[in-house]
Amino acid sequence: KNQVEQSPQSLIILEGKNCTLQCNYTVSPFSNLRWYKQDTGRGPVSLTIMTFSENTKSNRRYTATLDADTKQSSLHITASQLSDSASYICVVSAANYGGATNKLIFGTGTLLAVQP
């Protein structure tokens, strides 16, 4: 069964500190993995998209890693800001060669709270 699991479920850190969020998946065949940031009451916003051949990708203070062998990904946030408080959702796209679209399998998210 295609699944995406994230940890921790929630996290509280102080402003300025770093943190790392984890994502494990059992999706096959794998197409790509993305991390979304979702503010409370808003739609998800894409942070990064990583394909099979990419190990690391950075976007400002966000750095995502992907290990396709162990089927793990992480999202590292550097020098956290209050505005980083949000839910971070790991999404894996399963290649759907016979279908109309690649399937997106969503994790349940990690709820991050950055405190002053």
The pair of three-digit structure tokens given for residue 82, joined into one six-digit string: 């209050």
Q: Classify the phi-psi angles of 85: left when phi > 0, otherwise alpha if psi is within -120 to 50, otherwise beta.
A: beta
State the binding string over 48-87 for another protein (x if CB under 8 A, else -). -x-x------------------------------------
* Residues 15 to 34 in contact with another protein, rule: CB under 8 A: 31-32, 34
Residue selected from 41, 60, 70, 97 as contacting another protein according to rule CB under 8 A: 41
**Residue linked to tokens 């505005």:** 83
Least distance to another protein, CB of residue 28, Å? 17
Please give the Cα distance from 49 to 63 (Å, whole number): 11
